[in-house]
Amino acid sequence: MGTRPIIGALGAPILAATMLGLTPAAAIAATDTPYHPTVLWATSEEKVGEGAPNGTIAALVDDDTARTDATKTFWTTKWKGGLDPYPHALAVQNPTPGTQVCGLGLTPRPTYDSTLGNDQFPGEYRVFAFDEDPGNPAAEASFDDWKTKVAAGTWDGGTEVAHGSDLQFGNKEQYVTFPATTKRVIALAGLRSLAPGKSDMALSDIKLLPCDAQGNAITSYGSNEGGGGTGAVRPVVPHPDAPEQGSGASDLVLDFVIDQLPYGEPGKPVDFAPGTHTYTATGYYHATTVSARIRAVDGATVTINGATPDADGRVTNLDLTTGLNVITATVSKDGKEATYVVNITKVDTDFRGNVLVPATASANGASEAENAALTDLDPKTTWTSNPLVRASDWSEGVTGIELHLGEARYVHRVNGWGTPTLPAGAQSWHGGNSVAIAVQETDGGEWTTIVTHASLTRDARGLWYWDFNAYHLAKNIRIWMNDETEPQTPQNIATAVTFNDLEVWGLPAGKAPVAPAVDNSMNERYSGFDPGDGKWGVNRAQALALQYGVMMPAWVPSEGYGRGGFDAAERDLTGGAFPMFYDLPMFNTPMMESLGKGAPWALAKAPTGKNSMCNAGEPHNFMNEYMSPYASTLVDIQYGDEGGFNRGESECFKNWFAWSKQNIPGAVVHANSWDDPSWYRDANLSYYVENAKPDLLSWDKYYWGANGGPAPQQVVTNLLNTNTWKKQREYGLKGLTGDGSSPILYGQYLDYNWDANVSASEKSIVPSLGLATGQKWFGLFRMEYNGYDRSSIIDHDGAPTRSFYEFSNIFGNVSYIGNYTKAMNSTFVAYKPGQYAARSETPTLSGYKYGNFATGDEAMAANAAVGLVDMSVTNVGSVNDGLPGDVVVGYFEQLGGLDAAKSAEIFGDSATAPTGFMVVNALTGQTRYPSVLLDPRTDNGSLAETAQDITLTVKKPSAGAHLMLVNPADKTTQEVELGEGETSQVVLHAVGGGDSRFLYWVTVDEPTPTPEPTPTPD
C-alpha cells in the first residue's frame, strides 16, 4: 500500500477544513486500503441492453480481480432506445460514518478487441461532497437545470472537492484525490467523455480512498510505484547544469525507452542498445510529462528516478520543464549494476521552430468570459455554439471565432481542442463539419481565405491540427463553420461544437520565412522518364520499376484542407516516402513548393477524387494549372479506388491506362482494390490484366488494428494466405500474356498512420514478406499530421515519434533490398515453421509457387536453383520462450531478357544471370491492445527482442560462383567468404523480427591457369 500527494484537486478551490467536514485523524479508525462504497444511484443506467449486472450500478462494487478484461463487469449509461446525453452522475455513500475519505479510485470499462470501453471514461469531471444523499436529479423535473448548474460547478447542498480533465485511456484503476473529508456522500459528475463526442459514460469499478495521518490518499499502488494513472506519484526529475552519464553492465537490460520521445538529436534517431548507457532526446512545447519503460532481465531490481516501475516496466508522471531534464534507470542483479541516462532537452517551440503566438479571441455570440476561455490554455473553460450555424462566408451570425494577434506575424497553423456534437447514431469516425480559415494582414485590410475544408472530426481525441501548409502574414485570423461538404463527412454533420482552447503557431516576432535549401539530386531518376517499349529488354512496367526502385507514395492532404504534411526535411526522414494526392484539387502547391523542384509525386483516385472510372468519362487531360508545372515528376497514377470488379469498369480502366501511357508515360498506372472477392477471382484478374494491361496490381488490407491482430504463431499464414495477396501475386507474375513471360508489378498499401501502433517487428513483417514474395510497390496510408486520421507518427508539436522512426528504418531497409529485387522475378516462396507453445500442429503454405521449406519437388528445385541446401534457426532474442520462430524464404531469378549492361549496373559483372533468395525472420513480438494514437505502447516486439540467428548451408551453383550478402541493417553489400568444401555455412546474425537479408549469386569466370614454361636447355 502507499500514499499519494493531493494533486487531483489542483483545479478545485482551496477550501477551509470545516467546509470539508475534516475531523481529527484519530476520531474513527479507517481502513488502510481502498474499499467499495455503497452505490446509491446513477442518473442513467442501461437495464435492458446489457446482461445483468452489466449496465447497472451493481457492477461497480463486485469483485473483478480474477476476471479478464472481456469478462469484467461494468456500469454504463442508457443506450438502448436512445442515448442519454452528458452530464451524467452517480452517488456513493461511505459505509463507515465518520471516517475520512481522500479520493476516488475509478476503473474504466475495459478496452479490448473491438470493444472501446475506455472511450466512455469521463474526460472532464467534478466531484461533490454532501452530508446526506441529495437525491437523484434525474428523478426531478428540474433535471435540465441541474445539468446546467453542475457543468458550471454548483450542486445544491454539495461542496465541490475536485474538478479535472486528467483521466487517461487505459484499463488500470486511476485516482481522483481531494482534501480529506468526512462527509458521508460523494457524487461524481462526468461532464464529457474521454473520447470526444460520445454520449455515454461507463465505469467498471469505483472505490473510496482512505487517508493517511498526513491527509494523503491511500491507493492500491505502492508509494514509489510508477503506475496508477491520475493521482500517482510524480517522481523527481532533476535539472542539472550539464548532461549526466550512464555506465555499468551491458547485460541487464533488454530495452529502455521514453514512450513519447525518440532518442537522438532532432532528425537523427538513435536506437537503444544495451551497451550504450547515455542518450539524448528533445521534448517540444506540449511534451510536459513523459513516461519511461524498461525491460530488464528476470530477477533484476529496477528504479527509474527513484520510482519502482509497474508490472509493464513503466514509470509515469515524469514532468519536464524547459531546459535539461534527466531520466535515470538504475538496474542491479547479482552484484552487477548499470545506470541508463536520458538527457532530455525541453524547448518551447514545435519541431519546425515555430512558437506559440499570443492571441485573444472573440467568438460570435460569446460572453467576455467565454472569449477569454478560448485562449487561456485551460481545458476546463469552454465556449459552446449550439446550434452550430454554417455558411460559405463569414458573418456575425455564423459559428465562428476571430483571433487577434496584436501585431502581424507569420503563422503556419492553429491547434484547436474541442468536441463536435453529432446526431444520435452518427459514427464518430465520420462526424464533423467543414471549417474555413481566413487571414487579415492589417486591421481593416482584405481577408484572404486560405482553408476551406478543414476537419472538425473527433478522431484525435479532441485535437484539431489546422495546418496552412505555408506561412501566412496575419494580424487577425477567422475560423468558421462553412457549408462545404467534406468527403469524410457526407451525412453526419455536427449540430453543435464546444471549443476548449485555441493556439496559434508561427515564427518568432520579427522573423520572416526563408525558403529552405532543398537537395533533390537523389530524385533525378524520377524526372521526365519514358520507359518506351522494351527498354533494357523488359516490358514497360518492369522498366519503370528498374528506374524508380520500390516506390512508396504516401497519401497526403490536398490544398485547402488545413491538414499538415511533410516538408522536404521531414520527407527525407521517412526513408523513401513521397506525396500522393487523393482529394480535389488533387494537388497541394505549397507542399510541393516546400519539397523543391524535382520532387516525385503521385495521384490516387484519379482523375477526380472518385472511386469509379466509368463515371470519369472518356479519357482526357486532367492536369490542372496547379499540376502542370510539376508534370515531369508525376510517377504514379492510381485511377479510382476500391471499386468492385466488373468488365465494364475494366474497359474504362483499359481506356484510361492507354491514354495515360501515351500522355504521361513516366507514371505507373493501376487501379486499387481492398480484400474484395471480386478482385481475387481467377477469371476476373486474368481478364483484367490481359485486357486492361495495368502496370501494377495493388490492394489495401491492414492486418493489425487498434484493438488486435494476428498472434506470432499466426502471422505468416494470416498474411500470405490472404486471398488478394495470393491471387494478385499469381496474376502479377503471370503478367500481360498469362504465361509468365511478361510479368507486371504488384504491391500493397501499408498501415502507416491509420489505425494501429504496433511493435517494430509487427510493422516490419508486412513489407518484408511483401518483398520476399515479389512486391515492388508499397502505398503508405497515410501521411497527415493529426488531421483526418488517427496519428501515431507525428505528435502535437509536429515532431516525429518513435513510431515514425520505426517506419523510417523499415522503409530504408525496403528501399535498400529493393535496389536488387527490382531487377528480379519471384519464382517461389518457402515457409519454415518454427516452434510456438500456442501452435498445436505444423502449418503449411500452399498456393501458386508457395510451399514449405525443402518439402516437395517444387521446393527442392527452388533450393537447388539458388544453391540453398539447408537452414537452421536459433532464437537469440527474449520472446517465444527461447524457441525458434518462423522463417520465410523468397526465391528470385533475374528478369527475363534484361540487358547485360543494366544487370551489371545492379549486380556487378556476372557471366550468368544472377539468382538470389531473401531470408525473412518472421518471429514477431506482441503488442498490448488497444494501441493507438500517441498512447504509450506496451509490447515485446523490438527488433532486438525478436532477433534470430539464421544459419544457411549453401552450395556454389558453379565453380566461379560468388555469394553476395545485402544487409539492409547497415546498408552494405559484401561478398560472403565461403569455405573450400562442397558446402559452406553462412550465419545471418541477430536478424530482427520482421527484418530480412538478401543474398544473390554472380558468376565470375576464373582465367584458365597458364602452365609454367618448360625451361630451354642451354
pLDDT tens string 875-924 = 999 999 999 999 999 999 999 999 999 999 999 999 999 999 999 999 99
**Quick check: 26 pLDDT over 90?**
no
- Phi, psi for residue 733 in degrees, rounded to 5: -70, -35
Percent of the chain with pLDDT over 90: 81
Of residues 59, 187, 81, 66, the one with CA closest to residue 135: 187
Per-residue pLDDT, 429: 62
Rounded to an integer, what distance in angstroms lies between the CA atom of residue 296 and that of residue 599? 45
* Strands 745-751, 696-700: pairing kind: parallel
Rounded to an integer, what distance in angstroms lies between the CA atom of residue 747 and that of residue 777? 5
pLDDT band at 427 (very low <50, low <70, confident <90, very high): low
Q: Which helix (H) or strand (E) holds 212?
A: none
Rounded to an integer, what distance in angstroms lies between the CA atom of residue 56 and that of residue 50? 9
Q: Nearest 10 degrees: CA dihedral of 31, 34, 37, 39?
A: 180
Contacts of 398 (CB under 8 A, 6+ apart): 364, 389, 390, 391, 480, 481
840: burial class by Cβ within 10 Å (0-12, 13-18, 19+)?
exposed
C-alpha cell at 109: 470499462
* pTM across the whole model: 0.87
* Strands 745-751, 777-781: pairing kind: parallel
Per-residue pLDDT, 485: 76
pLDDT band at 788 (very low <50, low <70, confident <90, very high): low
Given the C-alpha cell 510524480, which residue does it identify?
A: 234
Q: Do domains 247-346 and 355-506 have the same CATH topology?
A: no
Rounded to an integer, what distance in angstroms lies between the CA atom of residue 59 and that of residue 108? 12
**Quick check: 858 pLDDT over 90?**
yes
Per-residue pLDDT, 230: 47
Rounded to an integer, what distance in angstroms lies between the CA atom of residue 598 and that of residue 518? 10
Of residues 216, 352, 323, the one with CA closest to residue 797: 352
Per-residue pLDDT, 29: 43
**Quick check: 228 pLDDT over 50?**
no
* Strands 101-108, 185-193: pairing kind: unpaired
* Strands 111-112, 217-219: pairing kind: unpaired
Q: Give the E-state strand segments of 347-431 in sequence order.
A: 355-357, 360-363, 383-385, 400-421
Rounded to an integer, what distance in angstroms lies between the CA atom of residue 394 and that of residue 448? 11
Per-residue pLDDT, 286: 96
Per-residue pLDDT, 460: 73
Per-residue pLDDT, 489: 58
Rounded to an integer, what distance in angstroms lies between the CA atom of residue 586 and that of residue 813? 30
Read off the pLDDT of residues 66-87 as tens digits, 9 standing for 90 and up.
888 889 999 999 999 999 999 9
Rounded to an integer, what distance in angstroms lies between the CA atom of residue 185 and that of residue 387? 36
3-state helix, strand, coil in the chain (%, to 5): 15, 35, 50
Q: Which helix (H) or strand (E) holds 871?
A: strand 868-875
pLDDT band at 789 (very low <50, low <70, confident <90, very high): low
Of residues 338, 318, 312, 342, the one with CA closest to residue 253: 338
List the alpha helices (DSSP H) in 135-287: 143-152
Q: Give the E-state strand segments of 487-577 in sequence order.
A: 496-506, 553-556
- Identify any residues that bridge with 999 across adjacent strands, giving them in sequence order: 917, 965
**Quick check: 791 pLDDT over 50?**
yes
Per-residue pLDDT, 488: 58
**Quick check: 577 pLDDT over 60?**
yes
CB 402 within 8 A of CB 435: no
- Min mean pLDDT across 17-31, 366-380, 968-982 is at 17-31
**Residues 40, 41, 42, 48: is their CA dihedral positive or negative?**
positive
Per-residue pLDDT, 21: 35
- Min mean pLDDT across 22-36, 128-142, 237-251, 574-588 is at 22-36
pLDDT band at 1013 (very low <50, low <70, confident <90, very high): very low
Rounded to an integer, what distance in angstroms lies between the CA atom of residue 192 and that of residue 124? 6
Q: Which CATH architecture has domain 355-506?
A: Sandwich (2.60)
List the chain domain ranges. Answer: 2-219, 247-346, 355-506, 521-1003
Of residues 515, 658, 501, 697, the one with CA closest to residue 590: 515
Question: Which among 44-53, 104-113, 564-573, 771-780 has the top mean pLDDT?
Answer: 771-780
Read off the pLDDT of residues 492-527 as tens digits, 9 standing for 90 and up.
788 999 999 999 999 999 999 998 899 999 999 999
Rounded to an integer, what distance in angstroms lies between the CA atom of residue 919 and that of residue 868? 11
Of residues 989, 767, 999, the one with CA closest to residue 875: 989
Per-residue pLDDT, 353: 97
Contacts of 768 (CB under 8 A, 6+ apart): 813, 814, 920, 994, 995, 996
Average pLDDT over the chain, rounded to an integer = 91
Per-residue pLDDT, 523: 94
Rounded to an integer, what distance in angstroms lies between the CA atom of residue 58 and that of residue 65? 16
Q: Within 10 Å of residue 767's Cβ, how many Cβ atoms?
A: 25
Q: Nearest 10 degrees: CA dihedral of 476, 479, 482, 484?
A: 90
Rounded to an integer, what distance in angstroms lies between the CA atom of residue 993 and that of residue 943? 5
Read off the pLDDT of residues 705-749 as tens digits, 9 standing for 90 and up.
888 899 999 999 999 999 999 999 999 999 999 999 999 999 999
Given the C-alpha cell 507518427, which residue does it identify?
A: 793
* Strands 185-193, 868-875: pairing kind: unpaired
CB 664 within 8 A of CB 626: no
pLDDT band at 428 (very low <50, low <70, confident <90, very high): low
Read off the pLDDT of residues 583-615 as tens digits, 9 standing for 90 and up.
999 999 999 999 999 999 999 999 999 999 999
First-last CA distance in the chain: 105
User: 247-346: what fold?
Assistant: Immunoglobulin-like (2.60.40)
* Strands 984-991, 948-954: pairing kind: antiparallel
Per-residue pLDDT, 196: 74
pLDDT band at 430 (very low <50, low <70, confident <90, very high): low
Per-residue pLDDT, 2: 40
Read off the pLDDT of residues 927-951 as tens digits, 9 standing for 90 and up.
998 888 898 999 999 999 999 999 9
Per-residue pLDDT, 13: 31
Q: Which helix (H) or strand (E) holds 296?
A: strand 289-296
Read off the pLDDT of residues 342-385 as tens digits, 9 standing for 90 and up.
999 999 999 999 999 999 999 999 999 999 999 999 988 999 99
Contacts of 31 (CB under 8 A, 6+ apart): 96, 99, 210
Q: What does each C-alpha distance from 101 to 129, 166, 223, 746, 929 come to in angstroms?
A: 10, 20, 18, 64, 34
Contacts of 54 (CB under 8 A, 6+ apart): 46, 73, 74, 75, 76
**Quick check: 539 pLDDT over 80?**
yes
pLDDT band at 115 (very low <50, low <70, confident <90, very high): confident
Per-residue pLDDT, 225: 46
Q: Which has the higher per-residue pLDDT, 485 or 320?
A: 320
CATH 3.30.540.10 given to domain 2-219: no
Rounded to an integer, what distance in angstroms lies between the CA atom of residue 483 and that of residue 481? 7
Rounded to an integer, what distance in angstroms lies between the CA atom of residue 520 and that of residue 567? 12
Per-residue pLDDT, 25: 32
CB 117 within 8 A of CB 233: no
Read off the pLDDT of residues 244-274 as tens digits, 9 standing for 90 and up.
999 999 999 999 999 999 999 999 999 999 9
Rounded to an integer, what distance in angstroms lies between the CA atom of residue 646 and that of residue 614? 11
- Min mean pLDDT across 228-242, 526-540, 814-828, 892-906 is at 228-242
Q: Which helix (H) or strand (E) holds 595?
A: helix 589-595
Of residues 7, 231, 192, 20, the one with CA closest to residue 107: 231
Rounded to an integer, what distance in angstroms lies between the CA atom of residue 910 and that of residue 914? 7
- Phi, psi for residue 953 in degrees, rounded to 5: -105, 120
- Min mean pLDDT across 36-50, 658-672, 996-1010 is at 996-1010
Of residues 633, 634, 748, 614, the one with CA closest to residue 692: 614
